[in-house]
Amino acid sequence: MTSLAPVPVLFVLTDLRVGGMERKVAEIVQKMDRTRCRPVVACLKEAGPLAPEVESAGVRVYSRLIAAKWDIRALVRLLRIIRSEGIQVVCTVGDGGDRMFWGRLAARIAGVAGIVSTLHSTRNPSGGRILDRPNRWLTPWNDVYVAVAKSAAEYLIEHEGLPRDRTIAIYNGVDLSKYAGEGREEVRQALEIPLGVPVISHVAAFRIEKAHDVLLRAARKVVDAEPESRFLLVGDGETRGEIEQLRAELGLEENVLLLGYRSDIPEILAASDVFVLCSRAKVETFPNSVLEAMASRRPPVCTNVGSIAEQITDGQNGFLVDEEDWESLADRILALIRDPELRQRMGENAHSVVSRNFSTERMVRDREDLFTSIARGHGIPSRLYLSSVKEVL
- Report all structural domains of the chain as residue ranges with CATH numbers, in order of start: 7-173+359-388 (3.40.50.2000), 176-357 (3.40.50.2000)
Q: pLDDT category, 368, cuts 50, 70, 90? A: very high
The neighbouring-strand residues paired with 89 are 9, 114
Under DSSP, the state recorded for 2 is: P
Q: pLDDT category, 391, cuts 50, 70, 90? A: very low
Contact 232, 200 (CB under 8 A): yes
Query: What average pLDDT does this structure show over 9-14?
Result: 97
Q: Which residues contact 233 (CB under 8 A, 6 or more apart)?
A: 201, 202, 212, 215, 243, 256, 257, 258, 259
pLDDT at 122: 60
Residue 382 has pLDDT above 90, yes or no: no
pLDDT at 225: 98
pLDDT at 123: 58
Q: Give the residue, 18 or 223, on which the prediction is more confident.
A: 223
What mean pLDDT is reported for the chain? Answer: 92
How many Å apart are CA 310 and CA 121, to the nearest integer?
A: 15
Label residue 367 exposed, middle or buried (CB < 10 Å: 0-12, 13-18, 19+).
buried
